[in-house]
Amino acid sequence: MARRKQARLTSVKDIRSILRLAHEQGLSVRAISERLKISKTTVSTYLLRAREEGLSCWPLPPGLDDDAVLQRRLFHRRGRPPQDLDEPSWANIASELKRKGVTLTLLWQEYRERHPNGYGYTWFCERFAAFAQRANATFRNRHTAGAAIQTDYAGQTVPIVDPLSGEIRPAQIFVAVLPASLLTFAYASFSQRLPDWIEGQQRALSFFGGVPKAIVCDNLKAGVAKPLWFEPTINATFAAFAEHYDTTVLPARPKRPRDKAKVEGSVLIVERWILARLRNEHFFSLADLNIRISQLLDDLNNRPMRRIDKSRRQLFEEIERAALAPLPATAFEYAEWKSAKVHPDYHVEVDKAFYSVPHRLIGRQVEVRLTSRIVEVFHDHKRVASHRRTSQRAGHITVSEHMPKTHQHYANTTPASLIKQAAKIGRNAAILSSG
């Protein structure tokens, strides 16, 4: 009871400051909220109570200097039930709230203009909140074994110290989880760029020992070319990865963490169960960090979970391992795709080197696939050229078949062939050309 009385007295002191700032200084609700460190909802509620009691002024009328009198005036119980019991259309109220500048206070005032003997502001707000909660019910997804894995990066990083220079680099933590069994995987890399993103996905599938029907991932720039709301586009490398493993990539919608709620929860678990235990340890290479993460990961996956009394590993072996498709016989070969325009000399520039394509494609746009060993060129989804990748900068790799006939004729001309042609004229011409 003492606490309740103290809270009420504090509220009365607050409202004196609110009324003074609102009516004497003309401050907005937001400005008053920031000045007094009180929520905007509380400020609006106090101003409304004062307005209902005819106290929209400063200084207050005589007789309200006593806090107890002002308290009774503002917080007295309104015992008289409303005479007009017609409820507003809550769906229309929700629709009107989406319009710019419309507030719940304004809508209640309009309601009271139509129903002077209707319900009060507090009842109005409570009933609308209940309607909004019913209208925005949360769907509890029942995850099917083998249906998907969810992947994301943790927000927390781990410092790696270079033993020679002392430079500190933050290691990014990739996290993947199977939602049905909650079996969790984590792996450290130096970046979130495409090669590390693909390697994380590949290592996760190897760790799980199988392939799910889909990969639900974040809208990471490295993997998703166009994060459109209804039809996101993944880049060519990620698409080739999904094709190699015969699975589907389903990027989560932007700003919709519930689309991948399980991995969001697993990220928190990895940060608290694994990364928090590493806070006082020092690492000098990614390999050492990943070995330590693997040790703690085994402990996490083998610990019994609350409410289930089984570990993630036990649940995985019981319900999920058999539901996963087998891994392909060969590992995925990482390759990047780039667009290029064929130069007038029928070569395309790739990584500061030049590779030939058929001369008929001069001026056309082509797609180039680069691996660590090979450069392949495609036009209209057909491969038109293949070269061994070179490390020589500004070098030209040319296949004679790609050249026009006239270029082939001159390109194949050698000193020996010129002497041979001169010999057909005569012995002296051959001697002259060789000299």
Give residue limits of the domains in the chain. Answer: 2-75, 90-135, 148-323, 336-403
Q: Which fold has domain 148-323?
A: Nucleotidyltransferase; domain 5 (3.30.420)
Instruction: Report pTM.
Output: 0.56
Q: How many CB atoms lie within 10 A of CB 226?
A: 11
**Joined tokens for residue 117:** 């003997």
Question: In angstroms, rounded to a whole number, what is the distance separating the alpha carbons of residues 389 and 397?
Answer: 9
Cβ contact 52:91 at 8 Å: no
What pLDDT digit, counting tens, does each position of 18-54 carry?
888 888 888 888 888 888 888 888 888 888 878 877 7
Q: Specify the pLDDT at position 309.
A: 78
Q: What is the pLDDT of residues 307-365, one digit of tens each?
A: 777 889 988 998 888 889 999 988 888 787 788 888 988 888 887 888 888 988 888 88
Residues 236, 342: Cα–Cα separation, whole Å:
20
Q: pLDDT (tens digit, 0 to 9) for every residue of the chain, 435 residues total? A: 333 333 333 456 677 888 888 888 888 888 888 888 888 888 888 888 788 777 777 888 777 777 777 777 776 655 445 566 678 888 888 878 767 778 888 898 998 888 888 888 888 888 888 888 776 655 455 677 888 899 989 988 999 998 888 889 999 999 999 988 889 999 999 988 888 888 999 999 999 999 998 888 877 665 565 554 445 566 778 888 888 898 888 887 766 766 677 888 889 999 988 999 998 899 999 999 999 999 999 999 999 887 777 889 988 998 888 889 999 988 888 787 788 888 988 888 887 888 888 988 888 888 888 877 788 888 888 888 888 877 777 778 888 888 887 776 676 666 776 677 767 777 766 666 666
| Model pLDDT, residue 171 | 92
Q: How far apart are CA 182 and CA 312, in angstroms?
A: 6
Measure the CA–CA gap between 154 and 157, rounded to whole angstroms.
7
Q: Of 163, 370, 378, nearest to 283 (Cα)?
A: 163
